[in-house]
Amino acid sequence: MPPRDKSTNSRLTKPPRRAPMIEVRHSRIHGFGVFALRRIRKGTTVMEYLGDRISHAEADARYADKADDDNHTFLFTVDKRTVIDGGVGGNEARYINHGCDPNCESALADRRVYIEAIRTIQKGEELSYDYQIQRDPDDAADVDEVFGCRCGAAACRGSMLEPRKPTRTKKAKKAKKVKNAKKRTKATRRRSV
């Protein structure tokens, strides 16, 4: 009996490997960026945001010596207890830049952060998502300048921080209280019927 040709054995042949989806290189937005090496369809999970999983207290201690005017961060908040530090044990996801008109978004599943395409991304296009960095009451007056956005989008809001919440006047607050009182009254009537 002739020797068996192993190249036809389906158990021994590997499926063809897909070309890499992304690469890291210099960006016009800021430092390094992540670029599509091939077309990425809307809804595709591009990658998971990886890094050292630490507490908020540990993150604060780790970067306590950071200058106030340094906007460079690889920290990603997962929940009230956990932060991912992409600067320690992180992957390419840490190089995705902020954009006010992004093509990706972050998604949380089982306390893990994934980067997903929210529209089809063409080969050569830089990936971005809206960082929406949280504002704190004790932020410096120039915090918007420190975290200034360089995305260049037509609708750029000028900051990587979450949009400011509109401040309401006393008249608007009073009108809302009256409106809420009416809602409670209607709800009470409905329940009592």
What is the residue extent of each domain of the chain? 18-167
Q: Are 108 and 50 in contact (CB under 8 A)?
A: no
pLDDT score for 132? 86
Alpha carbon of 111 to those of 59, 174, 176: distances in Å?
A: 17, 40, 36
Beta-carbon-side half-sphere exposure of residue 58 (alpha carbons within 13 Å)? 13
The residue among 160, 133, 126 whose CA lies nearest residue 145 is 160
Name the CATH superfamily housing domain 18-167. Answer: SET domain (2.170.270.10)
What distances in angstroms separate CA 161 from CA 60, 86, 165, one per listed residue? 18, 19, 11
Helices of type H across the chain: 56-62, 143-146, 170-192
Residue 175: φ, ψ to 5°? -65, -40
Task: Report the pLDDT value the prediction gives residue 70, as an integer from 0 to 100.
Answer: 72
Instruction: Give the three-state DSSP class for 57.
Output: helix
| pLDDT score of 176 | 55
pLDDT at 68: 72
Report the chain (193 residues): mean pLDDT per 10 consecutive residues.
58 73 94 96 97 94 81 86 95 95 96 97 96 82 84 90 73 55 35 27
Whole-angstrom Cα distance, residue 140 to residue 144? 9
**Residue 101, pLDDT score:** 95
Task: Provide the pLDDT for residue 120.
Answer: 98
Query: What is the spatial distance between Cα 83 and Cα 57, in angstroms, rounded to a whole number?
Result: 9
Two structure tokens written together for 94: 């840490």
Q: Are 121 and 39 in contact (CB under 8 A)?
A: yes
Residues 144, 136: Cα–Cα separation, whole Å: 12
To 5 degrees, how large is the angle CA 185–CA 187–CA 189?
70
| Distance from C-alpha of 77 to C-alpha of 80, rounded to nearest angstrom | 8
